[in-house]
Structure 1
Amino acid sequence: MLSGPQARSRPLAAHAAAGAIALLAAAYTYYCLATTVIPSDFEFWWRAARLYLAGGDPYLQLPGTPAWPLPDRFYYPMPTVLATIPVAWMPLPAAGATLMGLASGALASLLVRGGWWRLWALAGPGFIMALKFGQWTPLLCVAYLAPRAGGLAVLKPTLGAALLAARWNVRGALVATLVALLSVAALPTWPMAWLRNLDHVHAHPAPVTTAIGAFALLALLRWRRPEAWLLALYACVPQLLFFADQLPLALVARTKGEAQLLAACGLTAWLVWMARLETGDLFVLAAAPYVLVGLYLPALLLVLRRPNDGALPVWADAAWMRSRALVARARVARVR
């Protein structure tokens, strides 16, 4: 057991690493947001927050108007607006860099607690693309790793619900519910307006509805393992198959070798996708098969090669115990 300076050096090194990752992530996000000609996801939240603070309703804005010079309607839940308000006063690149830097530092700090090798989760395309477009998936990973931060799951309700269910925690669910209620108090009309706007969204399939992604349900052959539920439930919710939404799949790894393998497979798929792109291609749609083959299938193979043991999610364990009790009662009744 370490004591004295050695014991103190580990948390100090972990904090230093998390800080360095936060700064690098912020710098990369700043560069991407400052140089891109395509509106990022973060720009939608940033403009929506500024509009809301000015007394407007982002859900009622039409694309290409002076108040909303973006190509699409506002497709995101109100909690994303509330989360962006603290940095809405900043210029777009600085605001995105600040939030993504903080999110990356928090995620890195949680990953290191399980071992330095877990930082390999940040070496894959999921993290890179999340920073490039200012996506919330690093914070979704924080919600999964720290159930007390479950309120972050509502930033992307579908993906967040899958992560909360995979690692069920009552406190996390209560925090998420509280955040959702606060967002309704902030703008009571947003849920219905948001659902109406979602009618215009395309290209967000649940992976299980695809020929390759359906294999993710095989993970339930290892139903006693929490990472099996993570993979299977995550594949059942709508998502953009464009690498960033799939960052939580990196959490399936249980060893350094597995983490490196997932990062390598993801990077290979990402690089092949980019190399094969041609002028005029629908680059987002073209990424889907590479995401399924390079991210979902390797995660599935890692889950299937493990024994079917481990602690079930709380809700799954309770359901299993209830089913066993019902079977036992039925047997007793039959004997009588």
Structure 2
Amino acid sequence: MADERFPAACRARLAHTLPFWRSGRWARLSPLGMAIAVGVIAAVISAAGLHQRGGYAGDFTWAWRAARLLAQGQNPYRDPGLDPIFPYPFDAPLLYPLTAVVIAAPFALFPAWLAGSLFFGCSAALLAYGIARSRRWYLLPLFLSAPFYVAATVAQWSPLVVASALAPGLAFLAVCKPSIGLPVLLTHGDRRSWQQAALFVLLTLALFPLWPLGWLHNLRTEHGYPVPLTVFPGVFLLLALLRWRDPRARLLVLMACFPQRLWFYDQLPLWLVVRNGRESLLLTVASWIGYWGWRLASESPVRNGSNPADAPVWVVTCIYLVALGIVLWPSVRRGWEGVRAWWQDRIPVTGSTILPRAER
């Protein structure tokens, strides 16, 4: 009967496959091979998402346009083709520092849709390489998270920022998006990392000395980037200060203090607070609960998309607060064990007394 329900071919296949996973030989796969596989898949997903949004490079369009203007000797922070009256992705001025523009320069040789998907594929490949090289396999669930998916559909920078924390040679990439890169650099960077970042910024100043003025001017015109602490229930994130000596707690607090796009993709660096696969998987599942809660709670049909302005509460509740629980869990567990030990000491253990039966 067992043979009919479970054919010999399937039993043989499982007997060959399960030892591979149980032995941990999958963890000895080549970091380069894993990077290529993840990069190709991420590029395909990104290309599909960008095609759905109109065929441009998504959020990468700003850096892509700026790189082309800079190559022509023009000021990318005064682009007449960017104005709120235009549709996405031309509805805002350049809000990225010149460091991002320099990184985008090699991709400016390609059409917009191809540049965006290639950029995101390379970013995901660097992230996968950093995970494999540092042996932090518990971070792999982040590739299945809602922030990674949303970042892929708009060709965002967050995977590159996370990669900068895992590979010391990539630390300078954190300054491409300071709103989430500086918290990562402050908590994961060493002296050499800061030297790399400072040298990169100095090189961009040599290329275009006045770019910080144009960048800061454009930043003052935008107000759609709230601070997570100001979005209820984000004030509870200050509880992470109870474990300030823990770099993970400092990362959470610093991320909560920087203005950012509370639309899932900017929160990918929060996966750096996890310590094992269970916590990583918990944060990944919680991110999807927040994503679909936001999509289904929107007034417009899911197929028509949802308003990003409705997302901050879901992002703070389902990603930030879950990350807070992960950070505080060791203290909570030790506190509970202390209370239980105290309670056991207060109540002495008494043996049961059994009276002998009366003899008849």
TM value normalised by structure 2? 0.78
Aligned to 1:85: 105
Helix, strand or coil for the counterpart of 1:135?
coil
Runs of 5+ consecutive residues of structure 2 not aligned to the other structure: 1-22, 333-360
> What is the correspondence of 1:99-114 to structure 2 with a 5 Å cutoff?
99-112=119-132, 113-114=134-135
Aligned to 1:233: 254
Which letter does structure 2 place at the counterpart of 1:30?
A
State whether residues 238 and 253 of structure 2, in contact with CA within 8 Å, keep that contact through their aligned partners in structure 1. Answer: yes
Aligned to 1:330: none
Q: CA deviation at 1:213?
A: 1.5
Matched, 1:41 2:59: yes
State whether residues 273 and 287 of structure 1, in contact with CA within 8 Å, keep that contact through their aligned partners in structure 2. Answer: yes
Matched, 1:28 2:45: yes
State whether residues 33 and 92 of structure 1, in contact with CA within 8 Å, keep that contact through their aligned partners in structure 2. Answer: no
Residues 103-131 of structure 1 deviation map (CA, whole Å, 9 limit, x = unaligned) = 10111122233343320122111111111
The correspondence for 2:312, drawn from 282, 288, 294, is 288
Q: CA deviation at 1:76?
A: 1.1
Q: 1:37 to 1:277 in 2, by over 3 A?
A: farther
Distance 1:205 1:250 in 2: 20
> What is the correspondence of 1:122-201 to structure 2 with a 5 Å cutoff?
122-201=143-222
Q: 1:22 to 1:69 in 2, by over 3 A?
A: closer
Residues 75-95 of structure 1 deviation map (CA, whole Å, 9 limit, x = unaligned) = 111111110111101011211
State whether residues 147 and 266 of structure 2, in contact with CA within 8 Å, keep that contact through their aligned partners in structure 1. Answer: yes
Q: 1:69 to 1:257 in 2, by over 3 A?
A: closer
Q: CA deviation at 1:265?
A: 0.3
State whether residues 55 and 113 of structure 2, in contact with CA within 8 Å, keep that contact through their aligned partners in structure 1. Answer: no
Distance 1:213 1:248 in 2: 17
Helix, strand or coil for the counterpart of 1:81?
helix
Residues 227-285 of structure 1 deviation map (CA, whole Å, 9 limit, x = unaligned) = 11111111111101000000011121111111110000001110111122233997111
Which letter does structure 2 place at the counterpart of 1:286?
D
Larger radius of gyration: 2
Q: Which moved more, 1:75-84 or 1:212-221?
A: 212-221
Helix, strand or coil for the counterpart of 1:292?
helix
What is the aligned-residue RMSD (CA, Å)? Answer: 2.4
Q: CA deviation at 1:38?
A: 8.7
Aligned to 1:272: 293
State whether residues 180 and 269 of structure 2, in contact with CA within 8 Å, keep that contact through their aligned partners in structure 1. Answer: no
Aligned to 2:321: 297
Aligned to 1:247: 268
Q: CA deviation at 1:10?
A: 4.4
Distance 1:276 1:32 in 2: 22
Distance 1:58 1:14 in 2: 37
Identical columns (%)? 35
